[in-house]
């Protein structure tokens, strides 16, 4: 009984560590998401029955892959009585028997990388990419993903099913892109990971400011991708997430209310995450192949290394934003640069830039742009304009802690 309990505990640990890798290899071998998921479940069920009697195999991952594959073939043979095409598929899978040595570490890691690129394929909608990545690569349940994005579980499940059907019907290849297509496809993967992180770091809606489970999954994905494909921008994105995540504990007070960067207790910042992030961003910048994620990480590193808000090197931050704006021009980058200019040259200089951005109309529905204008108007004494901009931001914001923060700022003006 004691041995059985110990093996069950070991199997649970193997599931947490290996289930996504086993699934990725089964998808390669079976060519079908649903069949691979069923095979994964049946393999672990078989292990739960057999390992207490036979002992844990020397290579648990290979055992699980082999068992899952045979379980899938058995399933197809049972279905073949009604569908001759299923019998053909079973025969093909059986004839493709591979040596377990083919499931060595490097090949399995390739399978994992293939799965990431498949789930993030540009033929799928961004919502589908995010949901499929969280489900298949991270192993989150449909209910967990639905809760994170405030969707009904049935709606989320249908989105995942449609994405899998699209992969099957469109013949989306389960492979790592070639050298020519890799930069574009990698950028799509990084966008998915960063979108998941942002939703966890600053939830778009709801009662909570952050979702630690989502930002944690994004960082786990970033670490995995950095192990499998240590590109400069992969390092840059991982560094950016780690540096932002290092401030999580200081971003809210004991009551869960929002605390701005300049008011945060920096003793609460996670110095281990900062050290890891700084090392990664330095490596990315030294490569001379860096991009927008690395530059954003460099800006976050300047903040992280400043002893206080007043001692932040705003001149360096503005300089980094200048480079970022040339490399990846956009209104949000311009807005962030304007705020940095306000810190370097005074609120009047920043306000002029923010008003130019708002006048262009590109950020008319972006609550942070109106909140930035409100704060700068407040700082230069334009109270009526500040009040109007806070009210506009309140009309647009959907996150409760931010709503309360803006209301308090508005009340302070009155």
Query: Does the pLDDT at position 356 exceed 90?
Result: yes
* SS3 assignment for 43-80: HHHHHHHHHHHHCCCCCHHHHHHHHHHHHHHHHHHHHC
pLDDT at 159: 93
> Which residues face 399 on adjacent strands?
206
Given pLDDT bands bounded at 50, 70 and 90, which one contains residue 110? confident
Q: What is the pTM of this model?
A: 0.81
| pLDDT > 90: percent of the chain | 57
CA distances from 13 to 135, 174, 362 (A): 19, 28, 49
160 contacts 171 by C-beta, under 8 angstroms = no
pLDDT tens-digit map of 224-281: 899 988 999 999 999 999 999 999 999 988 888 899 999 999 999 999 999 999 999 9
Q: What angle do CA 194, 198, 199 make, to 5 degrees?
A: 120
Nearest-angstrom CA–CA distance, 273 and 277: 6
pLDDT at 347: 97
| Structure letter (DSSP) for residue 253 | -
Quote the mean pLDDT of the chain.
88
- The torsion angles phi and psi of 282, rounded to 5 degrees, stand at -65, -40
Element (H or E) spanning 316, and its range? helix 314-327
Given pLDDT bands bounded at 50, 70 and 90, which one contains residue 97? low
pLDDT at 211: 75
Q: What is the mean pLDDT of residues 71-83?
A: 77
Q: What is the CA radius of gyration of the chain?
A: 25
pLDDT at 1: 58
């Amino acid at each position: 009984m004691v041995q059985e309990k110990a093996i069950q505990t070991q199997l649970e640990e193997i599931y947490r560590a290996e289930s996504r890798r086993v699934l990725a290899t089964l998808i390669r071998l079976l060519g079908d998401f649903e069949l691979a998921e069923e095979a994964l479940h049946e393999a672990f069920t078989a292990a739960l029955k057999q390992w207490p009697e036979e002992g844990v195999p020397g290579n648990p991952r290979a055992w699980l892959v082999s068992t899952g594959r045979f379980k899938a073939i058995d399933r197809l043979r049972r279905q073949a009585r009604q569908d001759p095409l299923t019998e053909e598929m079973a025969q093909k899978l059986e004839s493709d028997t591979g040596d377990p040595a083919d499931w060595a570490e490097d090949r399995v890691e390739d399978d994992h990388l293939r799965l990431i690129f498949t789930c993030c394929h540009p033929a799928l909608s961004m919502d589908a990419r995010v949901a499929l990545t969280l489900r298949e690569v991270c192993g989150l349940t449909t209910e967990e993903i639905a809760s994170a994005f405030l969707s009904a579980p049935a709606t989320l499940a249908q989105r995942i099913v449609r994405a899998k059907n699209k992969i099957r019907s469109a013949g989306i290849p389960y492979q790592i892109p070639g050298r020519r297509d890799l930069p574009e496809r990698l950028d799509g993967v990084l966008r998915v990971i960063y979108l998941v992180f942002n939703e966890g770091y600053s939830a778009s809606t709801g009662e909570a400011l952050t979702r630690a489970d989502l930002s944690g999954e994004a960082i786990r994905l970033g670490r995995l991708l950095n192990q499998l494909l240590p590109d400069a921008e992969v390092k840059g994105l991982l560094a950016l997430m780690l540096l932002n995540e290092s401030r999580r504990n200081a971003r809210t007070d004991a009551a869960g209310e929002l605390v701005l960067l300049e008011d945060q207790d920096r003793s609460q910042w996670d110095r281990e995450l900062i050290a890891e992030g700084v090392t990664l961003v330095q490596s990315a910048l030294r490569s001379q192949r860096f991009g927008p994620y690395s530059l954003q990480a460099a800006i976050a590193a300047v903040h992280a290394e400043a002893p206080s808000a007043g001692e932040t090197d705003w001149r360096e931050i503005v300089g980094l934003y200048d480079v970022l704006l040339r490399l990846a021009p956009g209104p949000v980058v311009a807005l962030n640069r304007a705020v940095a200019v306000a810190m370097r040259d005074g609120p009047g200089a920043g306000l002029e830039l923010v008003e130019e951005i708002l006048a262009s109309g590109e950020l008319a529905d972006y609550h942070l742009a109106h909140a930035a204008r409100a704060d700068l108007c407040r700082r230069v004494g334009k109270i009526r304009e500040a009040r109007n901009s806070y009210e506009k931001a309140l009309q647009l914001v959907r996150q409760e802690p931010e709503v309360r923060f803006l209301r308090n700022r508005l009340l302070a003006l009155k």
